[in-house]
Structure 1
Amino acid sequence: MKQVIDAHIHLDMYTNTQQRQLLQELDEYHIEGLVAVSNHLSSAKQTWQLAKVDKRIQPAFGYHPEQQLPTAEELYELVGFMEQHHTDMKAVGEVGLPYYMRKEDPTISIEPYKQLLETMIIHAGNWNKPVVLHAIYEDAPIVCELLEKHSIRQAHFHWFKGDKSTVRRIVGNGYMLSVTPDCLYESEIQRLIRQIPLTSLMVETDGPWPFEGPFHGLMTHPKMIHASVAKIAELKRLPVEAVYHQLVANTKDFYQL
């Protein structure tokens, strides 16, 4: 069992007991670090506090798109917090577009969410920070346009789902993609893994989001990533040791760990 890094986890959304368990078990399961993303200001503050206690936690601050838009005051306070703590912040995230909300309610306009995302992208560029993105299917090309518009070089499309042409565009721009433990049982994700160059790939849990298959009923834990690495090695017909090495190298290089 080699070292791994969870490239995307909502650590603040676990209970205090679960957080303690995860952190106590990181060494046992060879988890070198966690990139902990945020959903809003309160989430960012909690994530920042967690990172102050444990240096293995790499905090990212942002506003998750699958929720009601922030008020002008809420956005001002969030950006102010991010500005104040941008030296501690490894990335701007999680940000993006509300794909699932719009599927449930097609009357929701994407335009104000695009404006919010563009604001976050501009700040990320000013702070020279990577952007962690919730952008899947037909939303991904829209996000690519915004990233290209502002000459953003560091973008991480987490738990990506989309077509081959968008994958080629993301990879061509030098951006990164990541997959979750659902790669063990989702054929769509397995096809993506075969297409994505290993040098453009990272692994994550998106915990505490739950998984099915062999993980049904289990608390999502970074240790699940070891099964993901083994599956990636199988799909790409590569030695598992080489896959471990490349995935960790990719994550350290991207997040400057």
Structure 2
Amino acid sequence: MRLIDAHIHLDHYTDQDAAGIIENSPFIDALISVSWDLHSCKKNFELSQRYNKVKPAFGFHPEQELPSPLQVELLLVWIAEHHKDMAAVGEIGLPYYLREQQKVTKRQYDEYLHILEMFIKSAKQWDKPVVLHAVYEDAPIVCELLEKHSVKKAHFHWFKGDKKTITRMIHNGYYISVTPDVVYEEEIQQLVHAYPLEQIMVETDGPWPFEGPFHGRMTHPAMMEESLKIIAKLKDIPVEVVAKTVLDTTKLFYQID
């Protein structure tokens, strides 16, 4: 199978492991390496300069402490200078898990929301897709922002949410990607069953570790083969057809030759 990892944090691997993934995976056509902050953006940019397979996305991951206004400004200025070198704006979104842990106040949440809107507006200006961390009750809020700014090319990675939001996302033409947990998580299997195949991609979110048959193993794009097999089973479509459809979808979405 030819594969594209639609969401991976290559800069979070050791240099040796990242090089091994890139250099020793001839079946991988591309890796969308998303960023965490300015330092992460710069590292992903360097990886993309070294390896043609690495397609960087530049952004600010929301599951971390709020940046200062100066940090946000420096990040946006740097991304503006390098926007022609990126595949997308990402990873961006809202801090669902920090809020669940009661580590984010209402005022702080509003600040995260403001930062997210700045990134969405910038993506619209640069005509770039957005890679989103937006799950459960955060997802409708993000949908509202995307609709407000007429951003169509939206990729909700490792999505979880209610049926109403799923229907809204499908109608709006938004894409999702699923991780290897589709092999053993019923919630993700139900999502795949509901979502059109033409709007599904696969990812690892590596180096995030997985359970089930992947327990104790370093997260590797090769795991996506098992994801595709499960998607094929859930959709009752030959795996070869699923693999080609997902590959073509990802190439088109991220403008990969």
1:60-79 deviation digits (Å, cap 9, x = unpaired): 00000001111111111111
1:35-81 deviation digits (Å, cap 9, x = unpaired): 00000000000000000000110000000000111111111111111
Of 96, 100, 103 in structure 1, the residue corresponding to residue 97 of structure 2 is 100
In structure 2, C-alpha distance between the alignment counterparts of 1:81 and 1:197, rounded to whole Å: 36
* Matched residue, 1:188: 187
1:203-253 deviation digits (Å, cap 9, x = unpaired): 000000000000000000000000000010011110001000100011011
* Matched residue, 2:45: 48
Q: Give the conservation status (yes or no) of the 8 Å contact 2:98–2:104.
A: no
Alignment pair present for 1:85 and 2:54: no
1:3-55 deviation digits (Å, cap 9, x = unpaired): 0100000000000111111112220xx11110000000000000000000001
In structure 2, C-alpha distance between the alignment counterparts of 1:149 and 1:4, rounded to whole Å: 33
Amino acid at match of 1:80: V
* Matched residue, 2:66: 69
In structure 2, C-alpha distance between the alignment counterparts of 1:7 and 1:72, rounded to whole Å: 30
Alignment pair present for 1:127 and 2:110: no
In structure 2, C-alpha distance between the alignment counterparts of 1:40 and 1:106, rounded to whole Å: 19
* Matched residue, 2:216: 217
* Matched residue, 1:22: 21
1:62-104 deviation digits (Å, cap 9, x = unpaired): 0000011111111111111101111101100000000000000
* Secondary structure class of the residue paired with 2:176: strand
Question: TM-score under structure 2 normalisation?
Answer: 0.97
Question: TM-score under structure 1 normalisation?
Answer: 0.97
- Aligned Cα RMSD in Å? 0.8
* Matched residue, 2:160: 161
Which structure 1 segments of 5+ residues have no match? none
Identity %: 53
* Matched residue, 1:254: 253
* Matched residue, 1:241: 240
In structure 2, C-alpha distance between the alignment counterparts of 1:211 and 1:108, rounded to whole Å: 30
> How far 1:108 moved relative to its partner?
2.1
